[in-house]
Amino acid sequence: MDIKKTILSICGLIVSTCAFAQYYIECEDTCNHIHGIDISHYQGTVFWEAVEDVSGNKIHYVYLKATEGGDNIDKRYLENINLAKHAGLKVGSYHFYRPRVDQKTQLQNFRAQCRPQDQDLVPMIDVEVTGGLSATALCDSLHKFLKLVEQEYKQKPLVYTGQNFYNKYLLGELDEYKLMVAKYSEPEPVLADERDIFAWQYTGKGHLRGVNGYVDKSMLLGRHTMREIRFVHR
C-alpha cells in the first residue's frame, strides 16, 4: 500500500511539474502596470502573432535591438519590426552604445535601420559599458551621441541603463531624459540622486508565449504612460 501511494505521489508531482512548465505566472498576470519587452537576435525566431494573441493588453510595448556601435546590425531586426508591427504591437528600436566609437558613425548605423516611418515609440539608447573610459569621459561621449539622436529624430530618446551602472557613472547627468532602469530583484530601483524612473526592467528571465527562452520584461512606474514615449511623426 505504501509503495502504491508513493508511486501515485510521484506521478502527481510529474503532472504538476509538466503543467507548470507549459504556463508561467508572470508579473503582468498579477498586476495592472503597463508592461513591455525588449527583443534581439538572442531570442531567435519570435512568433509575433502568438505574442499579440496571448498577451492581449498585457504587453503594451516592444523595444527591438536595431544596432550596436558603428557597424553591428541585429540580424533579426528587420524581420522582428515588420512582423511585430503586422501583429499590431507598439514598437520602438534601440541602439547599444559603444562609448569609444565615433558618435556620428554610430548615428549613421542606427539611422540606417531605425527609420522614423516604422516607429511607434521614441528611440532607446542602451548604456551599460564604459569602454574603459572614466565617468567624466563616458558622460561627455554619451551626451554628444544623445544630442545627435535628438537632432536626427526631433525628440529625446529614452535611455536604458542598470541601477548600479547609473549610480557609479551617470549620476546627475541625464536629468533631461526619461530612464528605463534594470534591476532584477525587489524592491523597485532607487537612484542615488533620487531621479524619477520612467520604467523598470525587472527581469531578464521572463517567459512569454511566442518567444523561445528568456525575455527581458519591464513596466512603467508611477503615473507614467505610453503617451510619453510615443514617436511623434513630423
Catalytic positions, written as ranges: 38, 128
The one-character DSSP state at 218 is E
- Sign of the CA dihedral running 154, 160, 161, 163: positive
CB neighbour list of residue 164: distance below 8 Å, 6 or more residues apart: none
Please choose, from the candidates 143, 142, 146, 140, the residue with its C-alpha nearest in 3D space to the C-alpha of residue 158. Answer: 146
Quickly count: other Cβ atoms within 10 Å of residue 118's Cβ: 17
Q: State the Cα–Cα distance between residues 122 and 127, nearest whole angstrom.
A: 16
Query: Can you read off the three cell numbers belonging to residue 148?
Result: 545627435
Beta bridge partners of 112: none
Does the N-terminal peptide bond of residue 187 adopt cis geometry, omega within 30 degrees of 0?
A: yes
Helix (H) or strand (E) holding 66: strand 59-68
